[in-house]
Amino acid sequence: MARLSPLICFGLLLSIFLINAPLNAQKSARPEVFRIHRGVNISHWLSQSRARGADRQAYFTEADVAAVAEAGFDHIRIPIDEEQMWDEAGNKIPEAWQLLHAALGWMKKHRLKALVDLHIIRSHYFLDDDPPLFKDPAEQRKFADLWVQLSDELKKYSRKHVAYELLNESVAKNHDDWNKVYRQAYDAVRAREPKRVIFIGPNRWQNARYFPYLTIPENDPNIVLSFHFYSPHIITHYKASWTDIRDYSGPVHYPGVSIDPKDTLNLPLEIREKVRQYTRDDIGIDQLENMMKAALEKADQLHLQLYCGEFGCLSNVGADMRNRWYKDMITLFERHHISWSAWDLKSGGFGVFDPKDRSLVIPADILFGRGN
């Protein structure tokens, strides 16, 4: 066997070092932050629920956290409401905070990460027409102060384990109003936690198409861009009692044109007008991907992680159609490296788990992208 001279060996080793040095430098410089892939929301627990005491305690337990981890998820998004965490005088409600801390402990034990989402506050609800938050400077200061208190309460948790979402589904009439208001809360957190990961989404229900109007603080790699996705609405919210399309109970289709026009001919004019938009366009995976385009472009432009914090489909459409929609959504998330959190864990209609036995009702091979 021929032997290489010491000079040649040195040259080869030097070349290998120089080739790998930039890669090693990038790895060491890369911030060790909150990294997630697949998750679920625990809704109607510390948010959008009148349950208190034993009922609230029993709704979400360590057994639920263990089931989420065992299924293959890596994080849980935790919506919380001001009225559950603080009374009207602004005092913390001890029981609610104890529940939140207990949940964060369970998640750490089961190696799940947590995204704490300030979902509803007294001055802002995502179904409000004109929330006081965007008109009253006092409410804006109060919003920022809520985050001062949240940060002071949660900053003891590792940045790898817990992240914050400033507000769910802003509905400011003017996009710049949202940019100005969220910045106050962002600055309040950054003053206390310079490197905590913060999730921020666009105005108007975090709809992806409004990303062009969202301004993001510069030179902050610890921001994640968040959007929500429930399209086509007639499929994901079929027969939902809180929507303006609740009275349509005829056939729906996915993929394809959501409603065949002939199925609306004998409907009252009012209902026909409300569902007319769903009788025109063919909707499938390509159209869903196009609806995400603005979000993808924003994330690419800013070199930030993209996250779909809510997406889901009511079981009212039937398992087959629901599974087809989920499969297309997961396929797109995997294709574009979008992390996600399904809405939701186990609430009526949307839940991906059966609340009785904690088994998945959406097939695991769909949820986790295998075979897509």
Alpha carbon distance, N-terminus to C-terminus of the chain: 49
Tell me, what's the pLDDT at 12?
Answer: 42
Tell me, what's the pLDDT at 370?
Answer: 57
Mean pLDDT along residues 232-251: 97
Q: Is the dihedral of CA 84, 85, 88, 92 positive or negative?
A: positive
Comparing C-alpha atoms, which of 275, 268, 271, 273 is closest to residue 253? Answer: 275
Tokens found for residue 256: 């394809």
Instruction: Kindly indicate the confidence band of residue 235, based on its pLDDT and cuts at 50, 70 and 90.
Output: very high
In the block, which residue shows the tokens 């569902």? 275
Of 23-27, 258-262, 276-280, the least confident: 23-27
Tell me, what's the pLDDT at 26?
Answer: 33
What domains lie within the chain, and their CATH numbers? Answer: 33-367 (3.20.20.80)
* CA dist., res. 134 & res. 167, Å (int): 13
Measure CA 93 to chain center.
26
Of 17-26, 47-56, 140-149, 278-287, the least confident: 17-26
Tell me, what's the pLDDT at 319?
Answer: 97
Q: Are 332 and 340 within 8 A, CB to CB?
A: no
Write out the DSSP string of 32-65. ------EEEE--SSBSS----HHHHHHHS-HHHH
Q: Which residues face 117 on adjacent strands?
A: 79, 165
| In the predicted structure, residue 5 carries a pLDDT above the cut 90 | no
Instruction: Give the tens place of pLDDT for each residue, 92-126.
Output: 999 999 999 999 999 999 999 999 999 999 999 99
Instruction: Kindly indicate the confidence band of residue 356, based on its pLDDT and cuts at 50, 70 and 90.
Output: very high
| In the predicted structure, residue 361 carries a pLDDT above the cut 50 | yes
Instruction: Give the tens place of pLDDT for each residue, 149-207.
Output: 999 999 999 999 999 999 999 999 999 999 999 999 999 999 999 999 999 999 999 99
Comparing C-alpha atoms, which of 314, 311, 308, 310 is closest to residue 350? Answer: 314
The rounded percent of the chain whose pLDDT value lies above 70 is: 90
In the block, which residue shows the tokens 């196009």? 290
Comparing C-alpha atoms, which of 165, 135, 121, 110 is closest to residue 339? Answer: 165
The rounded percent of the chain whose pLDDT value lies above 90 is: 90
Tell me, what's the pLDDT at 32?
Answer: 55
Tell me, what's the pLDDT at 22?
Answer: 39
Mean pLDDT along residues 350-359: 96
Instruction: Give the tens place of pLDDT for each residue, 7-34.
Output: 444 444 444 444 444 334 333 323 358 9
Tell me, what's the pLDDT at 216?
Answer: 99
Mean pLDDT along residues 203-231: 98
Residue 253 or residue 16, greater confidence = 253
Tokens found for residue 333: 């998330």
R_g over Cα of the chain: 23
Tell me, what's the pLDDT at 347?
Answer: 85
Tell me, what's the pLDDT at 329?
Answer: 98
